């Protein structure tokens, strides 16, 4: 692949697709991996268009492991259900054992 031809959004999708099952990562971690650690907002904003993609957007949360983007999913608890289906414990929009399920692309790729 030629990253130069991929827009920032597309790069975000590529990284998000590589998130292992049962793991999650943060917007900042993805942005950092892409070399734009100040562009965490762009990562989240990019997910807006990830609905038509094969992107596991539910595995991407903010730095605190909070499901801030759950309102962008169909139901009010769909995102949480998807995570719990993968073995990730979630309580009140907060991922439990976040450090354990956290997946850092810059350290795994």
Partner DNA sequence: CTTATGACATATA
Partner DNA sequence: TTATATGCCATAA
Min. distance of Cβ 50 from DNA in angstroms?
5
Query: Nearer to DNA by C-beta: 71 or 107?
Result: 71
87 three-state secondary structure:
coil
Min. distance of Cβ 98 from DNA in angstroms?
12
Question: Among 15, 24, 33, 50, which residue interacts with DNA (rule: CB under 7 A)?
Answer: 50
Alpha helix segments (H runs only) across 18-91: 27-33, 40-47, 78-85
Q: Is residue 51 part of the contact set for DNA (CB under 7 A)?
A: yes
Q: Is residue 17 part of the contact set for DNA (CB under 7 A)?
A: no
User: Cα–Cα distance between 103 and 67 in angstroms, integer?
Assistant: 16
Are residues 38 and 28 in contact, defined by beta-carbon separation less than 8 angstroms? no
User: Cα–Cα distance between 22 and 4 in angstroms, integer?
Assistant: 30
> What count of residues does the chain have?
109
Q: Please, which of residues 70-109 interact with DNA by CB under 7 A?
A: 71-73, 79
DSSP structural state of residue 20: P
Q: Is residue 36 part of the contact set for DNA (CB under 7 A)?
A: yes
Binding site for DNA (CB under 7 A): 7-9, 26-28, 36, 38-48, 50-51, 57-58, 60, 62-64, 68-69, 71-73, 79
């Amino acid at each position: 692949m030629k990253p130069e031809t991929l827009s920032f959004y597309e790069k975000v999708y590529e990284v998000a697709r590589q998130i292992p099952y049962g793991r999650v990562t943060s917007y900042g971690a993805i942005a950092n991996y892409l070399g734009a650690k100040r562009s965490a907002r762009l990562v989240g904003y990019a997910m807006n268009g990830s609905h038509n993609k094969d992107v596991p957007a539910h595995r991407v949360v903010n730095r605190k492991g909070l499901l801030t983007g759950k309102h962008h999913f169909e139901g009010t608890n769909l995102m949480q259900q998807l995570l719990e289906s993968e073995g990730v414990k979630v309580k009140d929009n907060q991922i439990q054992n976040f450090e354990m399920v956290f997946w850092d692309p810059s350290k795994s790729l």
